[in-house]
Amino acid sequence: MFLLWEDFLRSDYRDWRGSGHTEELLDKPDWLEQWLTVHSLPYPGAPTAKEVNELKQLREHILHIVQKLTVSEAVDPINLEGLNRALSSGPMILHIAESNSDFRLDTTPLQTGWSRIGAEVAASFGRLLTDCEPSRLRICDNPDCRAVYYDETRNRSKRFCDERACGNLMKVRRFRARQKAAESGGPSNPDSPEITV
């Protein structure tokens, strides 16, 4: 299962198979409702144009941060400010709960609505930056996909968001390209006329 922020970045949908089909899922209330349900967050109703705009800006901030991290460059302060703005517009109260000597840090939002959702997304991505290894963030090598993921492999070698989907597709593409090159360049193929210089 994907984390809240991972699913959020996937709202900028593009067909990884290369048809060129793209979809802005943040404009689709159905998608938003489903996304929040999966992550056990209340759906605040269809967002206003301003709220959608803020979500799109937040997505851009996160994406820019990821892009910098994948090439080991310093993160632009503007993008961190964007994350912090989203966090401050949906403040939460922290409290520690205990049951049978197990402690848990619970959060209660002070606001409902889309500002709270934006804060949850920023917090979800913030936890990755602070608690995990940001240098493991990757962008899928399939140019038609470019999905963001967290590389959990031991040798940090994961090149595709999904080996069976993008990984296989790229393998097939490379194979076809090699085949084409061999056909046009090799004299062994009876269909292609031999070129003698």
Minimum CB separation of residue 141 from Zn ion in Å reads: 8
Residue with Cβ nearer Zn ion (143 or 187): 143
Q: Which residues bind Zn ion (CB under 5 A)?
A: 140, 142, 145, 147, 161, 166
Minimum CB separation of residue 170 from Zn ion in Å reads: 9
Residue with Cβ nearer Zn ion (123 or 166): 166
Residue 8: partners with Cβ closer than 8 Å, 6 or more residues away: 35, 55, 58, 59, 62, 121, 124
Residue with Cβ nearer Zn ion (58 or 161): 161
Residue 58: partners with Cβ closer than 8 Å, 6 or more residues away: 8, 82, 83, 86, 118, 121, 122
Encoding tokens for residue 20? 């060129």
Contact 10, 4 (CB under 8 A): no
Residue with Cβ nearer Zn ion (33 or 144): 144
Minimum CB separation of residue 166 from Zn ion in Å reads: 3
Minimum CB separation of residue 117 from Zn ion in Å reads: 26
Start-to-end CA distance of the chain, whole Å, equals 58
Q: Report the alpha-carbon distance of residue 146 to residue 149 in Å, rounded.
A: 9
